Amino acid sequence: MYRSHNCGELRAADINKEVTLAGWVQKSRDKGFMIWVDLRDRYGITQLIFDEARTDENMMQRARSLGREYVVQIKGTVIERESKNLNIPTGEIEVLVNELTILNEAQLPPFTIEDETDGGEDLRMKYRYLDIRRNPVKNSLLFRHKVTQEVRNYLSNLDFCEVETPYLIKSTPEGARDFVVPSRMNPGQFYALPQSPQTFKQLLMVGGLDRYFQIVKCFRDEDLRADRQPEFTQIDCEMSFIEQEDILKVFEGLTRHLLKTIHNIDITQFPRITYDEAMAKYGNDKPDIRFGMEFGELNAAAQHKDFSVFNHAELVVGIAVPDAASYTRKQIDALIDWVKRPQVGASGMVYCKCELDGTFKSSVDKFYDQADLAKWAEVTGAKAGDLILILSGPANKTRAQLSALRMELANRLGLRQPNEFAPLWVMDFPLLEWDDETGRYHAMHHPFTSPKKEDIHLLDSEPGKVRANAYDLVLNGNEIGGGSIRIHDKETQALMFKHLGFTTAEAQEQFGFLMNAFQYGAPPHGGLAFGLDRLVAILGGQETIRDFIAFPKNNAGRDVMIDAPATIDNAQLDELSLVLNIKG
């Protein structure tokens, strides 16, 4: 038996017990006649004591030789601690050691294994196994486990069946690029790793499984953005014989269940807005609604004077920043510089202070009188003491810029509290999205999403106006999940592929398996997937998902611990019938 107890469980009630412990040396203190060692494992820290008066010289010497992170086993007696540490659960006792076995020595770790470490991100990634010994990372992994367990409990109780779908599949256009895997047995042929199990879960519905879920790895070879991982995990679900409303109810329930079991928070409201409203009010399809600062469109209120910048703009739009009328010229100039940064891209910004005495002071007083400015305040919902900030230009760009400013101000004003949770459904997404690069429409969600019946007639004339039965669940400004009601008949699916620019032959070649299946009695179905990594990070009150992933890749998509991706040798290339042609 390696241990009778773990390092986190001995208490005053255990005094006088003979125990065996095993773990890592966190640190030791040598007072000459006494040596204290903090022994650590996943469960906690227990203080060991070696005492000259009660321990033989040989063991004192071996105790003195223990370095940080040595792995040891000890036997000893639990005794009362003289100076108690009430900050840790084992702080009332210590273990007087009478047998010490060094199980493994350790080199000095490249960074300190403490809650606050001196190791930079790269170093910690390279030695991730050491990083995982630190409480913040270890606790994040335990937290993730708790979340996934609650997800499994909740869905299993509702008759969802967890099914594994294959990782080696066929490359299909689903939005992002596929990671591909060469097939040795089939020279020149490749598998692709799934961007999601989308078609398989639909086929499970055709198979009559009725309710499916899977906590599943997905792979997307996208250009990396901050805090994106090329492989990530989804809570993937699909249901048959349902309407949109049924799906929303199940996943509101799941979200409620998680917030209740994890944080003991009761969420009652799951407001819903349409995509169009979200864009108009927040300039964003995943708005953070924990705070206001909703957009006020000022075209009518601002385009009747001689201010040509506004007169020539497609959209003039502003927000009221609470209690910011007192900002100095310098503070406002800094904000103007901020929106002019290339990452945001505004060409300028107009402001209007709503003074406490009821008057207004704007940067365009030359053009607008007090009555005009009062109208601006009304439209943006500004009250006395607020600062109105206004951008203008092409509608979509200007909305995106103001959205970035709204989020930045909310961060600066401390309006985004990690322990406050505000979910929101965004509904009725457009079915298709114009892509300048390829010069054609793409499915905004994916090609299997059903258009709204009442909009199908617009497919030929105004494809951009067709709305989809698609919905996203947004939490605190993050899209945590999205899904749709699916097409379940061959004709509509073929029509959809046609509008996405596939020839009949191409559609058949890539998605024949799905359209054929639809001819054998496909039930009406729909579903959704939550992004688990992000969900766990938000529930854990953190911004970055990396700490909740055991072995994450860095921002360049590399695993710096195992050093992947890496080249393979010529023999392996030959076996796979591959010839490299590296340019540049």
Instruction: Give how many residues touch ligand ASP by CB under 6 A.
Output: 8
For residue 440, report the phi and psi dihedrals to the nearest 5 degrees.
Answer: -155, 175
Q: Is 248 in the site for ligand ASP (CB under 6 A)?
A: no
482 forms part of the interface with ligand ASP (CB under 6 A): yes
The correct pick among 28, 46, 90, 198 for binding ligand ASP (CB under 6 A) is 198
Q: Does 534 carry a binding-site annotation?
A: yes
Q: Which is nearer to ligand ASP, 346 or 529 (CB)?
A: 529
Computed from CA positions of residues 255, 258, 263, 264, in that sequence, does the dihedral angle turn out positive or negative?
Answer: positive
451 binds ligand ASP (CB under 6 A): no
**Site for ligand ASP contains 199 (CB under 6 A):** no
d(CA 408, CA 375): 25
Which CB atom, from 128 or from 452, has the smaller least distance to ligand ASP? 452
Q: Please tell me the distance from the alpha carbon of residue 493 to that of residue 326, in angstroms, as a whole number.
A: 57
Q: Is 91 annotated as a binding residue?
A: no
Nearest alpha carbon to residue 14 among 24, 25, 5: 5
Question: Under 8 Å CB-to-CB from 186, ≥6 apart: which residues?
Answer: none
Q: H/E element holding 256? A: helix 244-263
Tell me how far, at minimum, the Cβ of 16 lies from ligand ASP, in Å: 58
529 binds ligand ASP (CB under 6 A): yes
Is there a binding annotation on residue 486?
yes
Is residue 289 a contact residue for ligand ASP (CB under 6 A)? no
**Which residues lie across from 392 on neighbouring strands?**
316
First to last CA, the chain: 59
Q: In the complex with ligand ASP, which residue's Cβ is closer, 281 or 525?
A: 525
- Residue pair 62/46 in contact by the 8 Å Cβ criterion: no
Q: Is 221 annotated as a binding residue?
A: yes
Nearer to ligand ASP, 196 or 362 (CB): 196
Question: What minimum distance in Å lies between the beta carbon of 535 and ligand ASP?
Answer: 14
In the bound state with ligand ASP, the residue whose beta carbon lies nearer, of 392 and 493, is: 493
What is the closest distance, in whole angstroms, from the C-beta atom of residue 226 to ligand ASP in the complex?
20
Q: With binding defined as CB under 6 A, does residue 483 bind ligand ASP?
A: yes
CA distance 338 to 344: 8
* Paired strand residues for 515: none
DSSP structure string for 326-368: T--HHHHHHHHHHHHSTTT--S--EEEEE-TTS-EEETTTTT-
Q: Which of 403, 484, 511, 535 binds ligand ASP (CB under 6 A)?
A: 484
Neighbouring residues of 27: CB distance < 8 A, sequence distance ≥ 6: 37, 38, 68
CB 159 within 8 A of CB 210: yes
Binding-site member from 28, 196, 202, 380 for ligand ASP (CB under 6 A) = 196
Strand (E) or helix (H) holding 322 = none
Determine whether the annotation assigns residue 532 to a binding site. yes
Annotated binding residue 229: yes
Residue 152 labelled as part of a binding site? no
Contacting residue, 194, 423, 527, 552, with ligand ASP by CB under 6 A: 527
Neighbours of 437 (CB within 10 A): 6
Q: Can you tell me which residue has the tokens 């005495």?
A: 357
Q: Select the span of 38-46, 332-340, 429-437, 526-534 touching ligand ASP (CB under 6 A).
A: 526-534
| Residue ranges of the binding site for ATP | 220-222, 229, 479, 531-534
Residues that bind ligand ASP (CB under 6 A): 196, 198, 482-484, 527-529
| Residue ranges of the binding site | 174, 220-222, 229, 445, 479, 486, 531-534
| Residue ranges of the binding site for L-aspartate | 174, 220, 445, 486
